[in-house]
Amino acid sequence: MSQSPQVDPAKLAAAKAAVALVEDGMRLGLGTGSTASVMVRELAARVQAEGLSLRCAATSRATAELAESLGLRIESLDDIGWLDMTIDGADEVDPDLHLIKGGGAAHLREKIVAAASDRMVVIADPGKVVETLGAFPLPVEVLEFGFETTRKLIRRALEGLELGEHDILQRLKGSDPVVTDEGNLILDLHLEVIPDPSGLARALSCIPGVVEHGLFLGMCDLAIIGREDGSVIEL
């Protein structure tokens, strides 16, 4: 259950600070990604040491498998109904706590889980903090049906927002398409900068083949940024 010796101290500091917010009896959402995995390990250690009774929903199959392998019981979101807190990572966090997520292709489930939580706590290392979102390619989960048509419609939407010409690349693992837990595909929008995240979010949500985009606007309540020296700052 202990952390691997190579664990990033900044991620560990953020994860520990978030797990310290967990109280006995809480209903928790568990995020996805390397930082969230560190958090799941810390959480499992606390549960074992203190005998906490928690109800947990996972944002991906990978997180569910990790959590269960560490002795945490995972229930479906619908069985739990509502969550007190979700702890998740992020690819970018801006000063308004707007996020880009989906680097792990799990943003659809992550967004559903965060939306069903009283509080979303993001844990990250300092490299994730940005002034303006967009350097990290924006993940968009799309249906396989009409995939190229959806890509065209996204391109047209970007032109309408005067975002200009940008690469919209299918995410691959090796030479195979990345397929999400829901059986969909991922397009990464290489925008460099997103001057109007709300406008872009609205435009993407109107495109029929788009299942969900990785902009999390107004969802994050607290970002805990870990530092190499083990300290954290809260945004």
Q: Could you say which of 14, 72, 87, 90 contacts ligand 5RP (CB under 6 A)? A: 90
Question: Cβ distance 223 to 118 under 8 Å?
Answer: no
Residues designated as active site: 110
131: Cα separation from own chain's centroid: 19
The burial class, CB within 10 Å (0-12 / 13-18 / 19+), for 25 is exposed
Tell me how far apart the alpha carbons of residues 60 and 109 are, in angstroms, rounded to a whole number. Answer: 7
Residue 145: CB atoms within 10 A of its CB come to 10
Q: Could you say which of 22, 28, 30, 33 contacts ligand 5RP (CB under 6 A)? A: 33
Q: Considering only 70-78, 101-109, 182-190, 221-229, which stretch makes contact with ligand 5RP by CB under 6 A?
A: 101-109
22, amino acid identity:
V
SS3 195: coil
Q: Could you say which of 10, 14, 30, 106 contacts ligand 5RP (CB under 6 A)? A: 106
Q: Could you say which of 16, 41, 107, 171 contacts ligand 5RP (CB under 6 A)? A: 107
Question: Does residue 120 touch ligand 5RP according to CB under 6 A?
Answer: no
The burial class, CB within 10 Å (0-12 / 13-18 / 19+), for 58 is buried
Nearer to ligand 5RP, 102 or 134 (CB): 102
Give exposure, 108-122, as e/b (b: 16+ Cβ within 10 Å).
bbbbebbebbeebbb
Question: Cβ distance 17 to 72 under 8 Å?
Answer: no
Q: Considering only 41-49, 72-80, 82-90, 189-197, which stretch makes contact with ligand 5RP by CB under 6 A?
A: 82-90
Tell me how far apart the alpha carbons of residues 113 and 102 are, in angstroms, rounded to a whole number. Answer: 14
Q: Could you say which of 27, 39, 44, 103 contacts ligand 5RP (CB under 6 A)? A: 103
101 carries a ligand binding annotation: yes
32 carries a ligand binding annotation: yes
Q: Could you say which of 35, 86, 180, 184 contacts ligand 5RP (CB under 6 A)? A: 35
Q: Considering only 70-78, 105-113, 164-172, 182-190, which stretch makes contact with ligand 5RP by CB under 6 A?
A: 105-113
How many residues at the interface with ligand 5RP, by CB under 6 A?
A: 18
Shortest Cβ 182–ligand 5RP spacing (Å): 12
33 carries a ligand binding annotation: yes
102 carries a ligand binding annotation: yes
Parallel/antiparallel/unpaired status of strands 222-226 and 232-234: antiparallel
- What are the residues binding ligand 5RP (CB under 6 A)? 31-36, 88-91, 101-107, 110
Binding-site residue positions: 32-35, 88-91, 101-104, 128
Residue ranges of the binding site for substrate: 32-35, 88-91, 101-104, 128
